[in-house]
Every structure is written in C-alpha cells, then in structure tokens.
Structure 1
Amino acid sequence: MLAETVCSAVAVAGLGIAGVTAYRKRFLAAARLAAYSLVPLGLVMTGAVEWAVDTAFSPMAWAGFGVLGGAWLLFIGTRAVERRGGGTRKERKAARAAQDRAVAPAAAAPPLGQQPAARRGSSPATGGSEDFSDIEAILKKHGI
C-alpha cells in the first residue's frame, strides 16, 4: 500500500514539473517529463508494484534468485572450461592425435624449392663445403 502511494505521488509531482516546463515553452522536454512520470502510475495500475513488493519481501523469491544465479555461474564456468580446451578424455585424445598427424609430415618435409642432398647427386662431404661456399660468396659480396 505504501509503495503504491509513493509511486502515485511521484507521478503527480512529475506531471506538475512537466506542466511548469510546458509553461516555459519547452514542449518537447515537457512531453518527455510527462511520459517518464506516467510510468510509475501505469505500474501501480497494472499491479506490477504490488507484485514487486511481494517478491522483494519473500524468502522463497530470494532463494529462487539464488538458484538462478547458481545456474548462471554453472553456464559461465562450463563455457570457460570448454574454451580452455577442456572436455572429455576421448575428445582431448582425438584432438591430440589429429594434431600429431597433421604436424609430423610437414615437419619432416624439406623446405619448398630445395631437394635433399641425396637427390642432388652430391656426397655429404661435398654438400657441407657447398654450404660454406654459399656463405663465403655472401661474405665477399658484403666485403668481409
């Protein structure tokens, strides 16, 4: 009963301020103030204020809000674990096996445009000196 009275008083005061604002030729602001001040009156008339007051002082309602909060925390927590790479043991094992299959062949392959030393027809001993000749050519080019 008290909440309905307070909301009605706020609505009347808001409409009074809107009237003064309209008297000062600020019609747009007056219309906006009137709209805001009619909201509490509409809530009183629909019974939403009574429901809100009954809910605010009900221990069962607060327990329900606690349960909803706990459910929300569970949803957020499971989402965070899932993003970090969690999941079942089978899923992690399958993901690790797929990653190993995908990475291993690429790591063993020679760089693009180069062939292994055995295919070039040179022995390992000359392959080493050939690498040094490339380095010597680079150093001579830079004057070292």
Structure 2
Amino acid sequence: MLAETICSAVSAAGLGIAAITAYRKRFLAATRIAAYSLVPVGLVLTGVIDWLTDVVFKPAVWLGFGLLALAWLLFMLTRAVERRGGRTREERKAAKAAPGDGAVAQAASSRPLTSGGATAAGTRDGSRKKSGQGTGDDFSDIEAILKKHGL
C-alpha cells in the first residue's frame, strides 16, 4: 500500500512539473516529462510494484539470486579454463592413445641436430648440408615474409 501511494505521489508531482513546463511554451519537454511521470502509475496498475516489493523483502529470493550468480560465475570460470587450453579427461586419454602426432614429434626430437640446423642424417631430400652454410639461410624465408608485410 505504501509503494502505491509513493508512486502515485511521484506521478502527480511529475505531471505538475509537466504542466508548468507546458505553460512556459516548452511543449516537447513537457510531453517527455508527462510520459516519465505516467510510468510509476502504470507499474502500480500492472502489479510490477507488488512483485518488486515481494522480491526485495524476502531473504529466500536473495538467496536464489546469490545461487544464480554463483552458477554464472562457475560457467564463466569453466569457459576461461577451456580457452586457456584446459582439456577434459577424455580428451587427454584420446591424445595419449592416438599415436599420430606424438610419434612424429618423438621421432623428430630423437634425432640430433648439427650446428647448421640440419639433422645428422641430412636434410629432407637426403643430401647433407655443407658446413660452410650457416643459420642465415634458415631465416631467409622468415625475413622475406617480414619484408613483405613491411616489418
């Protein structure tokens, strides 16, 4: 009952201000003030004010909002962990079971490298690299890409 009285008083005051504004020949502003003034009465008549007062003054409702906030926080936390590269237990098991990439990486890392950057067995085509060639050729393609993009 108190909320309805307050909303009615606010609306009446707003309509009074709108009337004064219209008297001063500012009709657009007066219309806008009148529109804002009618909102509290409309909320009272639709029952929104009763619903809001029930929500504000019940501790169980606040507990519910707290649980919803906790659930949202947990969802966001799990999404952040997923984006950082966190895997589920099933994904880790599947990665260990699949010999595709892991076997290639182990075979590549087991071969020793020479000072020129090529493996001891040779380059990809099987020929050995000359010892006179340094690591400058290794970065020429990277330099070309950087120059192409103006960096």
TM over 0.5: yes
1:56 corresponds to: 56
* Deviation readout 1:16-50 (Å, 9 max, x if unpaired): 11111111111111111111111001001111111
Task: Please tell me whether the aligned partners of residues 10 and 40 of structure 1 are also in contact (alpha carbons under 8 angstroms).
Answer: yes
Identity score, percent: 58
Q: Shift of residue 87 of structure 1? A: 2.5
Deviation at 1:101, TM superposition (A): 7.1
SS in 1 for 2:87: coil
Q: Specify the alignment match of 1:24 in structure 2.
A: 24
Q: Which runs of 5+ in 2 are unaligned?
A: 112-117, 135-151
Structure 1 equivalent of residue 65 of structure 2 = 65
Larger helix fraction of residues? 1
Structure 1 segments (4+ residues) deviating >3 Å? 92-108, 115-119
Alignment of 1:33-44 (within 5 A): 33-44=33-44
Segments of 5+ residues of structure 1 without an aligned counterpart are 133-144
Match of 1:77, as an amino acid? Answer: L
Number of aligned residues: 121
Alignment of 1:1-144 (within 5 A): 1-92=1-92, 94=94, 119=127, 127-129=130-132, 131=133
What's the CA shift for 1:94? Answer: 4.8
State the SS of the aligned residue for 1:50.
helix
State the AA in 2 paired with 1:14.
Answer: G
98-107 vs 41-50, which moves further: 98-107
Q: Which moved more, 1:82-91 or 1:5-14?
A: 82-91
RMSD between superposed Cα atoms in Å: 3.2
Q: Which amino acid is 1:30 matched to?
A: A
Which protein, 1 or 2, shows the higher relative CO under an 8 Å CA cutoff with sep ≥ 6?
1
